[in-house]
Structure 1
Amino acid sequence: MDEEGIDQSTVENLKRIKARLVKNKDDAASFSSYQRPSIVSWLKKKREDEGNPIRGGKFWTALAGATDVDDSGLVLICPKKNVANLFIDYAEYVAVVGNGNFLAFKSKKDAKPLPNDAFQVDMISRVRKGREGDVSQTVRFVISEHLSTCSNVINHAQAQFEDGIRGDPAANPFDRRAPRRLIHCNSMSVSSLLFDETAEAETAEIPDDIAILSDRLNNHKFQEGSFLGRQSLRDNPLTNSYREVNGAADGFPGWTVDRYSDWLFVQHDEKEPRGPLPSIHDGYTAGVYLLPSNQDRAAMGSKDKIRPLLIEGREAPEIVPILENGITYHVSLDRDLSTGIFLDQRPHRAWLSRYCNEDTHVLNCFAHCGAFTIAAAKAGASTVSLDLNKKWLDRIEPQLEANGIDFDERHDCIYGDCFEWLEKLSKRGEKYDVVILDPPSSSVGKKKKRWSVGRDMAELVQMAAPLVKKGGIMITSTNNASLSSLKFTTSCQTGLERAGVQSKLERIQPMSVDFPSIGSQPVKNLVWRVN
């Protein structure tokens, strides 16, 4: 490659990257292995840790309740030899119905459906105001005198309400409106047929992802320093930054509140009334910054030079260290338009940090301040961060150091246009285990004078695909709310096909509980496996 016109710092970076390529001659991608445990294996491990080991998992079975790994609440686990001696008096489930009228197809493997008279159905709440047709209904299902699981609720709910369970991946995996299917086993009563004994159990609380919808009518305010549906985040010692209020989806159009440790960052569309704020006297909040906002996070304030202003409490330091899943990131609340991290990608960063290891090599395009880079590096991965704005890249090294990671030959930053550099890196024969493409919705570059994710994503993917190792992954993301999930997926797939790369869509990452949506979720996260 002709290196004329490239600054000396970039030349040195390229030499280090090339050295890593020569050192790691293995063409196969390297990742940490991770497999979610079954409920029985989880119970076995839990009992062993408590000093009360039980016989191996093959002797046990999950009979009723939240038997699917993504469901929540009570689960009845029983030795297989005793199954015939149990009687289920009742099991109570709470579910959120409202999935954009997407229905899950009945599987051929489904057991015989329960009779309708086994179900008692009661409405808990119905949220309709401002939801533009995406009505949400929280419903209680009580199933008496039958073995039942969360899965039994699906078909009955769909038949009665003509709508699916929110977040059900079997209904529409491209348009998941919650991180999981929102079903919770709330209580259960089980009797023994051998002894005159009955056991009853009830969960103390409904999970946040259901409470954020079901409790709204009666509890639409901050309590103990946290807004509706954020209790688990507030009480999480490993995370102190998340979204407290998410605009219209939380009932307050044009009003979003993000928590960054002890400070709040408010974005307000002045065409709408102000929404709620926690008190700075609640013990959780030191100060509040306000930014009159454009809802496009990439363009916010770019023309009118608006900056955040402190409106209450004390000023934040120039750099605020925050915690997310045990990893330290840096944000600034009054220096720039962007704080330095996009909180809606928290689950995606958690997945990446669990997936990488010391042999994983990551290329982070449109890296911004390097949040994906930090997550991967914390797991031991080597990284290359690429962005057109050197100011953002300069914030990566201090964040690595804050996590005890040296900014050495394993980590590099390249300042430049992604379209130019993808071509250069490909000509150099670079290969990565992970290539991340999270571009802005629109921008102005050098090689591509005008960029639009709706128009140009296929071309971007086509250029990046040759850089992915065999067995490696490409992460494609967009925050373009007007671009449908299916169209974005199709664009990415088109780019991979044009590159002559065989791939499969392996993972779709929904947004987390603190980013509820009305209709389709605005941020789309896809993980592609390159074969």
Structure 2
Amino acid sequence: MKPTELKVKASYINQYQRHFPLINKDTIINPEDIQKEGSIIHLVEPNGKFIAKGYYGKQNKGLGWVLSDKQHENIDFSFFKKKISNAIDKRKAFFQDENTNAFRIFNGEGDGIGGITIDYYDGYYVINWYSEGAYSFKETVIDVLDEIGEYKAIYEKKRFDTKGKYINDDDFVKGERGEFPIIVKENGMNYAVYLNDGAMVGIFLDQRNVRKIIRDKYAKGKNVLNTFSYTGAFSVAAALGGAKKTTSVDLAKRSKSKTIEQFSANGIDFEEQDIIVMDVFDYFKYANRKNLVFDLVILDPPSFARSKKRTFSTAKDYPSLIKDTIAITGKGGIIVASTNNASFSMKKFKGFIDKGFKDSKTKYKILEEFSLPSDFQVDRNFPQGNYLKVVILEKLSH
């Protein structure tokens, strides 16, 4: 079947010639010509001259992804095998690290195929499909993993429901079903993960370096508050780093049992820690009333969250989140400010932080910054792919 030709608007030709990987609707003259998810498409100049080939896979970011600038390259088993094998070769150091056995082995467009990521958890693969188009390559990707070598099992996450909801059917694909939770290691810390239980597995691998630095450098002797704490992974790192006490706050009811489980996996007495199920913004008010002061506060909110009482959006509400945090952070205290929102840059994120401090008439200094770790390979022609922004800062004085 002949690929559909998508004509690129003149002002965007140069962008695609420079290997920009995302196919955006507003860059295309005839987007209505594409019909079938997973179909191969050619990007061409208005005069029909070939620019690049890719596939149609509609997701929140765009219409699909560029795969090759070679007109006659086949998007087949050997294409996928080359890309996935190269990606795994780049992670050799991770496979050899005795203290870490959970990491990303394929990071979408960063490794040459947008819309698909593959994570590795101690011998188990988890494939994330971000569009129906990406999912159409399932058999090929699994054939490649079969050929590359041994694994315990393959699980998958389908993240392409039109209503933005996770498609929650059986995530098991093939191999030997795991007995969950499995305990994985990250820099010598233990984390309980569930590969068969909805969209989340229990740990965000992209924060690995931040957890390590909290444990190794910032937690000792500190009274630590972990907000939007999910399964308490940062709290575990802080406790293992010698924190005096950790307080984990999250609105989700199951966060409490999940956090207890993570502490227990590391031999930490969870009864010595505070685990609170509460809206974070209500907790700030409570902490203020009780004159609670923390030496280290971790802020890693979701990009967008809705509770009964309020909606939170990082782009709009981060300055006020910083302001609330400053009020309960002691002088010389450390704030770990994080976001995974891809829609703004590190520069803009620092602007949100600065606004929060200015509104509080408080001085601060930035100690260090983090973006994605090396296993989350980023395409240099697509800086938006480097979505993680973490700024560690010290509160100086009012």
TM-score range, shorter chain: 0.7 to 0.9
1:478-497 to structure 2, matched below 5 A, reads 478-497=339-358
User: Which of these residues, 450, 455, 471, is aligned with residue 316 of structure 2?
Assistant: 455
For the residues of structure 1 that align with 2:125 and 2:332, how far apart are their CA atoms? Answer: 42
- Taking the TM superposition and a 5 Å limit, the aligned residue runs for 1:252-291 are 252-268=113-129, 269-272=131-134, 274=137, 276=141, 279=145, 284-291=150-157
Return the structure number with greater helix share: 2
Please state how far the C-alpha of 1:285 moved relative to its aligned partner: 1.4
Q: Deviations over 1:323-365 (max 9, x none)?
A: 0000000111112321011101001111111014541111000
Counterparts of 1:430-441 in structure 2, within 5 Å, are 430-441=292-303
**The 10-residue stretch of structure 1 (469-478 or 496-505) with the greater mean CA deviation from structure 2:** 496-505
Q: What is the rounded CA distance, in whole Å, between the counterparts of 1:357 and 1:444 in structure 2?
A: 30
Measured on the aligned residues, the alpha-carbon RMSD in Å equals 2.6
- Residues 283-306 of structure 1, C-alpha deviation per residue, up to 9 Å, x if partnerless? 651001111115xxxx99863542
Structure 2 equivalent of residue 78 of structure 1: none
Q: Is the 8 A contact 2:158 2:166 kept in 1?
A: no
Residues 353-502 of structure 1: pairs in structure 2 closer than 5 A: 353-381=215-243, 382-409=245-272, 411-447=273-309, 449-502=310-363
Match of 2:85 among 222, 228, 238: 222
- Please give the per-residue CA displacement for 1:113-147, whole angstroms capped at 9, x wherever unaligned: xxxxxxxxxxxxxx9645469xxxxxxxxxxxxxx
Q: CA deviation at 1:428?
A: 1.1
Q: Over residues 464-500 of structure 1, what are the superposed CA-to-partner deviations in whole Å (9 max), with x where a residue is unaligned?
A: 1111111111111111111222211111111122122
**Worse overlay, 356-365 or 431-440:** 356-365
Which whole-Å CA distance do the structure 2 matches of 1:314 and 1:130 have between them? Answer: 39
Helix, strand or coil for the counterpart of 2:248?
strand
Give yes or no for the alignment of 1:322 onto 2:184.
Answer: yes
Q: Report SS of the residue matched to 1:434.
A: strand
CA distance in 2, matches of 1:300, 1:475: 34
Q: How does 1:64-79 map to 2 (within 5 A)?
A: none
Distance 1:220 1:305, change over 3 A: closer
CA contact (8 A) 1:131 1:249 kept: no
Identical aligned pairs, as a percentage?
Answer: 29
Distance 1:322 1:315 in 2: 16
| Cα displacement string for residues 51-75 of structure 1 (whole angstroms, at most 9, x for unaligned residues) | xxxxxxxxxxxxxxxxxxxxxxxxx
Secondary structure at the counterpart of residue 394 of structure 1? helix
> C-alpha separation between the residues in 1 aligned to 2:169 and 2:301?
23
Residues 300 and 331 (structure 1), Cα distance of their counterparts in 2 relative to 1, 3 Å cut: farther
| Conservation of the 8 A alpha-carbon contact between 2:166 and 2:199 | no
Amino acid paired to 1:351: I
1:519 paired with 2:383, answer yes
Seen in structure 2, the aligned counterparts of structure 1 residues 361 and 301 have a Cα distance that, compared at 3 Å, is farther
User: Which amino acid in structure 2 is aligned with residue 523 of structure 1?
Assistant: L
Q: Distance in 2 between matches of 1:481 and 1:357?
A: 28
Structure 2 gap ranges (5+): 1-16, 24-78
Q: What is the CA–CA distance in structure 1 between the aligned matches of 2:85 and 2:304, rounded to whole Å?
A: 36
How many angstroms apart in 2 are the aligned matches of 1:368 and 1:526? 20
Q: Is the 8 A contact 2:158 2:167 kept in 1?
A: no
Structure 1: which amino acid aligns with 2:151?
Answer: T
Aligned 1:285-324 pairs, distance under 5 A: 285-294=151-160, 303=165, 305-307=167-169, 309-324=171-186
- Answer yes or no: is the 8 Å Cα contact 1:308–1:333 preserved in 2: no
Instruction: Give the 3 Å change call, closer, same or farther, for CA 258–220 of structure 1 in structure 2.
Output: same
**Alpha-carbon distance between aligned partners in 2 of 1:427 and 1:279, rounded to the nearest angstrom:** 55
The 3 A distance-change label for structure 1 pair 365 and 286 is same
SS of equivalent residue, structure 1 residue 271: helix
CA gap of 1:347–1:453, structure 2 versus 1, over 3 A, is same
Kept in 1: contact 2:159–2:166 (CA 8 A): no
Question: Does the C-alpha gap of structure 1 residues 237 and 282 become closer, same or farther in structure 2, counting only changes over 3 Å?
Answer: farther
Measured in 1, the distance between the counterparts of 2:224 and 2:162 equals 29
> 1:528, CA displacement in angstroms?
1.3
Question: Aligned residues, how many?
Answer: 315
Judge conservation of contact 1:367–1:393 (CA < 8 Å) in 2. Answer: no
User: Closer, same or farther in 2 for the Cα pair 1:402/1:289, shift >3 Å?
Assistant: same
**Cα drift, residue 276 of structure 1:** 4.0
Q: TM-score, normalised to structure 2's length?
A: 0.73
Provide closer, same or farther for how the CA distance between residues 301 and 400 of structure 1 changes in structure 2, counting only shifts above 3 A: farther
1:529 to 2:394 alignment: yes
Q: Distance in 2 between matches of 1:249 and 1:402?
A: 33
Deviation at 1:317, TM superposition (A): 1.3
Q: Helix, strand or coil: the match of 2:85?
A: coil
Distance in 1 of aligned mates of 2:247 and 2:164: 27
Structure of greater Rg = 1
Give the conservation status (yes or no) of the 8 Å contact 1:307–1:337.
no
Match of 2:111 in 1: 250
In the TM superposition, what is the alpha-carbon distance from 1:271 to its structure 2 partner?
Answer: 2.0
More moved, 493-502 vs 233-242 = 493-502
SS class of match (1:348): helix
What's the secondary structure of 1:395's corresponding residue? helix
User: Aligned residue for 1:334?
Assistant: 196
Alpha-carbon distance in structure 1 between the residues aligned to 2:190 and 2:162: 25
Q: SS state of the match for residue 365, structure 2?
A: strand
Distance in structure 2 (CA, Å) of the matches to 1:512 and 1:440:
19
Q: CA deviation at 1:249?
A: 1.2
For 1:494 and 1:440, how far apart are their aligned partners in 2? 20
Distance 2:169 2:281 in 1: 30
In the superposition, relative to structure 1, how do residues 232 and 318 fare at CA in structure 2: closer, same or farther (>3 Å)?
same
Letter in 1 for 2:94: L
Partner of 2:42: none
